[in-house]
Amino acid sequence: MDITFSTDPKLSLLLPFIYFAWQDDVLTKTEFDALSNFINTQEWLTKAEKTFLKSKINFDVPPSRLELFHWKEKIDSTLKSTTNINNLTELGFLIANAERPTFTEDEINKTGPVFAQLEAGLGLMGSEVIAGFRKTTTTLTHSQNTVESFNVQKMTALLDGSQAEIINKVKALIGSEAFKLDIPTDVTEYREKVLHWCQILADNDLSSYAYPVAQGGKNDIEGYFAIMETLSYHDLSLVIKFGVQFGLWGMSILSLGTEKHYKKYLKDVGTLALPGCFAMTETHHGSNVKGIHTTATYNHKDRTFTINTPEKYDRKEYIGNAANHGEMATVFAKLIIDGKDYGVNAFITPIRNKDKSAYHGVVIEDCGHKMGLNGVDNGIITFKNVIIPYENMLDRFASVSESGEFQSPIPSDNRRFFTMLGTLVGGRIGIPRSALAAAKTGLATTIKYSDKRRQFGPEGGQEVPILNYRMHQLRLMPYLANSYALTFALQHLTKRFVNRKEEEMQEIEALAAGLKAYSTWNARNTLQECREACGGKGYLSENRIDNLKNDTEIYTTFEGDNTVLMQLTAKNRLSEYRKQFSGMSVSTIFNYVVGQAKTVVAEKNPFATRNVDETHLKDAAFHLNAFQYREREIVSSGARRFKKLVDDGLDAFDAANIMHPHMLQIADSYLDRAVLEQFQIKIQETEDEPLKEVLTRLYNLFALNKIEQHKAWYLEQGYMEGVKTKAIRKLVSQLCWEIRQDAVPLADAFNIPESCLGVIATTKIAQA
């Protein structure tokens, strides 16, 4: 009779090893050598048995598919019989004994170690292999699902705050049939559609919220920002066209002009009867707008200004509303009186006639196809000595007197220019809020899809929703936390701007510039992660991540290039830092320095730097300390470093060049701290317990994730040791795991109109 595993049960001892060697791999040389040596050296095997076993590890005659099936069945039924198996040897004994009890306790004790050596020789981790063999259908990974721990409507109310009414009005409109998101690939068609949408918004009294009541407005700038943000769940070309017409064009008149301009223009701007542009950027001067070359030459004889483009690349470029629809523009130009340059001022200049033909002396070109926002008609404008009347100068901050002399309450050209820009800081509030809404739309789509989409699972078990994978949670949950954090921070910025006092203006400008960069970069990162997390589905236009991503891509550039804006913010922080000391006497400074040193000593004591207690790691005071410490250290080391570079004889411009990366860190650490504080305040204000709890989880994730991102810096400083940064990493992962259960409700709380979400978010996907 031939030898088989069944007829010679003790051979089954080797069955798990042989199965393992073949199972998902071809038999490797190492495996062959280990098994074959083992078989050769076993005295308890007969020659025939050895021959049989070696026939089962023959490269040229692998076991048949059915034989493998059969072996697997034996392994499975044995594993089912007991959970107490730790390695392949034990498994082998049990299979052998199940066939026919052949081994005594004594034999097992004697043979065991020999097999253990084989196991080691094969490089097997016994318990892992056994775990891999087991078919599992109910794992922790499977059991995760959506559990709503709080009331979604209450969360929406908390997020919308005082603006709920106008937000709901806008949502109803963009969710309606007229706003169906069916984006034409044809650029001309797209632009007309967007113009039409703007008209509907104007007809619904949503365009002139920020204007004076006398001009049909509501004098409600907070409402204007809420509208712009809410519109951003919908098409972003619409948002930018809306922002150019009613924001930039209208607000430049409101901020830089005076009553006569309001009366003459604002009503028509608000109804869209007078489409216009904001013409600042030139081909050669984008970031450095102070350096623009367009001139407005005053002619005292007839009291006119001549607007002119001196050289080709001094043309106005990238001007929204210019290529097709704009009829007038606020043009920024250097005012020249009697050959003297009085710096940049603003002038209302016609660019098109009512029949849409170009105004005499104006040449308009189309910027051409763009990466996104193709529903916005960006154009290039060249002025060939266009003459405009005296009253077209926007004269709030500077004017030309009756006698033809320049007059202004702000003597420095620089300062006047920045004061003018400052009044236009609204754009740096609208854009980050718009970016946040786009990020939320992408996140909601991705989270809702990931909760349904199943892929992979344990051998033989059900596939698992991809949102149950730790990696997927780590990719998305921190952005969900960021989106909540930024909601509160941007509302805070808006309120500060609306209620601003003159002396706070510089700080608010710095905060707005910084948060514009912070929020638009966050949107860029969020949408990138969403695109990848949705896989191929994230690449289909019907799921909107496509347009959301490409449209907001330019947000990091326009309204101030992010890198440049961060420098502005940092400059303000450095200057504030220096001023802190200016009013102080020597003894005050001494006490201040001693105080700081004490804090640092307290923060850097070995207990604190190694404290991995969860209560400590989740303590808001610890977070605030860590954020403040980073902010303070980076700004003060920045000040010292700059001074040293200059003291060492470097030109200030060269020193500033070297400092750029440091400056970015100054701004970033300031913004992190500012955003953290607002999140803390919002939680303190929240009374509903379930809301407070879930917000606290999000808050902890936000705070710890930021610390984790900057851990290299904290380690370099000795503010934390490795043991603590590792504990923080673990806690971040744990928080992601916990928040996953509430992820869908947290996305639902954004209350984004269903029509604005990707198709994958709303289609019920059948179980695979």
Site string for a copy of itself, 234-273 (x = CB under 8 A): ----------------------------------------
DSSP 767: P
Instruction: Please identify, among the stretches 7-15, 139-147, 612-620, 626-634, the one whose residues bind a copy of itself according to the rule CB under 8 A.
Output: 139-147
Distances (CA, A) of 402 to 72, 300, 374: 100, 9, 45
Site string for a copy of itself, 51-70 (x = CB under 8 A): -----------xxxx-xx--
Number of residues that bind a copy of itself (CB under 8 A): 135
Distances (CA, A) of 25 to 22, 31, 59, 62: 6, 11, 12, 11
* Contact between 148 and a copy of itself per CB under 8 A: no
- Of 469-498, binders to a copy of itself (CB under 8 A) are 469-471, 474
**Nearest distance from C-beta of residue 675 to a copy of itself, angstroms:** 22
Rg (CA), the chain: 35
Q: Are 514 and 566 in contact (CB under 8 A)?
A: yes
Q: Is the dihedral of CA 450, 452, 455, 460 positive or negative?
A: positive
Instruction: Please choose, from the candidates 713, 698, 707, 681, the residue with its C-alpha nearest in 3D space to the C-alpha of residue 745.
Output: 698
Taking the C-alpha atoms of residue 205 and residue 216, their distance in angstroms, rounded to an integer, is: 9
Site string for a copy of itself, 545-564 (x = CB under 8 A): xx--xx--xx-xxx--xxx-
Task: Choose, by CB under 8 A, the member of 389, 404, 535, 595 that binds a copy of itself.
Answer: 535
Q: What are phi and psi of 387, to 5 degrees?
A: -95, 130
Nearer to a copy of itself, 47 or 369 (CB): 369
DSSP 285: B
Nearer to a copy of itself, 614 or 651 (CB): 651
- Of 96-125, binders to a copy of itself (CB under 8 A) are 120-125
Nearer to a copy of itself, 249 or 342 (CB): 342
**255: its two tokens:** 């901020």
**9: its two tokens:** 């049960």
**646: its two tokens:** 């200059």
DSSP 725: H
Nearer to a copy of itself, 608 or 646 (CB): 646
- Of 617-636, binders to a copy of itself (CB under 8 A) are none
Task: Choose, by CB under 8 A, the member of 258, 625, 733, 755 that binds a copy of itself.
Answer: 733
Q: What are phi and psi of 727, to 5 degrees?
A: -65, -35
**Nearest distance from C-beta of residue 569 to a copy of itself, angstroms:** 14
- Of 391-450, binders to a copy of itself (CB under 8 A) are 406, 408-415, 418
Q: Are 753 and 762 in contact (CB under 8 A)?
A: no
Taking the C-alpha atoms of residue 457 and residue 767, their distance in angstroms, rounded to an integer, is: 13
Distances (CA, A) of 205 to 216, 229, 768: 9, 16, 48
* Contact between 228 and a copy of itself per CB under 8 A: no
For residue 44, what are the contacts with CB-CB under 8 A and spacing of at least 6? 10, 111
Nearer to a copy of itself, 271 or 550 (CB): 550
Nearer to a copy of itself, 192 or 688 (CB): 192
Instruction: Please identify, among the stretches 38-46, 538-546, 599-607, 688-696, the one whose residues bind a copy of itself according to the rule CB under 8 A.
Output: 538-546
In a 13 Å sphere around the CA of 560, the CA atoms on its Cβ side amount to: 31
DSSP strand E in 203-294: where? 276-279
Task: Choose, by CB under 8 A, the member of 51, 81, 127, 385 that binds a copy of itself.
Answer: 127
- Of 75-94, binders to a copy of itself (CB under 8 A) are none
- Of 268-297, binders to a copy of itself (CB under 8 A) are 281, 284-288, 291, 293
Nearer to a copy of itself, 296 or 655 (CB): 655
Instruction: Characterize 368-399 residue by residue with b for buried, 16 or more Cβ atoms within 10 angstroms of its Cβ, and e for exposed.
Output: eebebbbbbbbbbbbbeebbbeeebbbbbbbb
H-assigned helices in 424-469: 427-450
- Of 28-47, binders to a copy of itself (CB under 8 A) are 28-30, 33-34
- Residue 766, classified by CB atoms within 10 Å of its CB into exposed (0-12), middle (13-18) or buried (19+), is exposed
Task: Choose, by CB under 8 A, the member of 42, 97, 102, 139 that binds a copy of itself.
Answer: 139
**Nearest distance from C-beta of residue 461 to a copy of itself, angstroms:** 7
Task: Choose, by CB under 8 A, the member of 317, 509, 672, 742 that binds a copy of itself.
Answer: 317
Contacts for 681-685 with beta carbons within 8 Å, 24 or more apart?
A: 681/488, 682/488
The count of other CB atoms within 10 Å of the CB of residue 30 is: 12
Instruction: Please identify, among the stretches 209-217, 466-474, 684-692, 747-755, the one whose residues bind a copy of itself according to the rule CB under 8 A.
Output: 466-474
Taking the C-alpha atoms of residue 412 and residue 342, their distance in angstroms, rounded to an integer, is: 10
- Of 360-389, binders to a copy of itself (CB under 8 A) are 367-372
Instruction: Please identify, among the stretches 102-110, 298-306, 581-589, 681-689, the one whose residues bind a copy of itself according to the rule CB under 8 A.
Output: 581-589
Q: Are 11 and 44 in contact (CB under 8 A)?
A: no
- Of 323-352, binders to a copy of itself (CB under 8 A) are 342
Nearer to a copy of itself, 348 or 466 (CB): 466
Task: Choose, by CB under 8 A, the member of 9, 257, 426, 538 that binds a copy of itself.
Answer: 538
Task: Choose, by CB under 8 A, the member of 104, 105, 113, 185 that binds a copy of itself.
Answer: 185
Nearer to a copy of itself, 100 or 180 (CB): 180
Instruction: Please identify, among the stretches 136-144, 200-208, 610-618, 687-695, the one whose residues bind a copy of itself according to the rule CB under 8 A.
Output: 136-144
**Nearest distance from C-beta of residue 309 to a copy of itself, angstroms:** 13
